[in-house]
Amino acid sequence: MHITQGTFSFLPALSDEQITAQAKYCLEKGWSLNIEFTDDPHPRNTYWEMWGTPMFDLKDPAGLMYELAECRKVHAGRAYIRVSAFDATPGWESLRLSFITDRPAEEPGFMLERQERGGRMIAYTTRAYAADRPAGARY
């Protein structure tokens, strides 16, 4: 299983050189970069853990790559890591790019639970197999 959240999940894992190029693009647009990680891959898990605060004053993609390397030292192989770019322009004030840079070694995927109700209705619940274990011990 390979979760396909994020802008570039259908491409081979991005190299550091490719991540740097995307970071450069975002900084040239005036967007702020941010690193997040999680061990809960549920598609509705909005709030991944922040690796520090968004880098509002960053000018050089090297700063992003340094923090990413630090984050990887702690979480690589045991969590998902993503880089996102925030645009503070009026009318946007939201993310403009968000892509996964690192994945756990194994991605066990999701169970789709169906609860039958009346009138052929089914209530669906998506449950990550990884979430069966406590946070911190999932991957």
Partner 1 sequence: MDNVTATARKSRYDAGVMKYKEMGYFDLDYQPKETDILALFRITPQDGVDPEEAAAAVAGESSTATWTVVWTDRLTACEKYRAKCYRVDPVPGQEGQYFAAIAYDLDLFEPGSIVNLSASIIGNVFGFKPLKALRLEDMRLPVAYVKTFDGPATGIVVERERLDKFGRPLLGATVKPKLGLSGRNYGRVVYEALKGGLDFTKDDENINSQPFMHWRDRFLYCMEAVNRAQAMTGEVKGSYLNVSAATMEDMYERAEFAKELGSAIVMIDLVIGYTAIQSMAKWARRNDMILHLHRAGHSTYTRQKSHGVSFRVIAKWMRLAGVDHIHAGTVVGKLEGDPFTTRGYYDVCREMYNPMRLEHGIFFDQDWAGLRRMMPVASGGIHAGQMHQLLDLLGEDCVLQFGGGTIGHPMGIAAGATANRVALEAMVLARNEGRDILAEGPAILHAAARRCTPLAQALEVWKDVTFNYSSTDTPDFVPTLTPA
Contacts of partner 1 in 28-57 (CB under 8 A): 41-44, 46
**Cβ of residue 17: shortest distance to partner 1, in angstroms?**
10
Question: Quick count: other Cβ atoms within 10 Å of Cβ 23?
Answer: 24
Length of the chain, in residues = 139
Q: Which of 71, 85, 101, 138 binds partner 1 (CB under 8 A)?
A: 85
Tokens read off for 98: 């968000």
Q: Which of 50, 62, 111, 135 binds partner 1 (CB under 8 A)?
A: 111
Q: Does 7 bind partner 1 (CB under 8 A)?
A: yes
Contact pattern for partner 1 over residues 65 through 84, marking x by CB under 8 A: -------------------x
Q: Does 15 bind partner 1 (CB under 8 A)?
A: no
What DSSP string runs through 30-99?
TPEEEEEEES---TT---PEESSS-BTT---HHHHHHHHHHHHHHHTTTSEEEEEEEE-STTT-EEEEEE
Helix axes 16-28, 61-75, angle to 10 degrees: 130
Q: Does 110 bind partner 1 (CB under 8 A)?
A: yes
Alpha-carbon dihedral sign for residues 4, 17, 64, 51: positive
Closer by beta carbon to partner 1, 73 or else 117: 117
Closer by beta carbon to partner 1, 105 or else 123: 123
* Residues near partner 1, by CB under 8 A: 1, 3-5, 7-12, 18, 21-22, 25, 41-44, 46, 84-85, 90-99, 109-112, 120-124, 126, 128
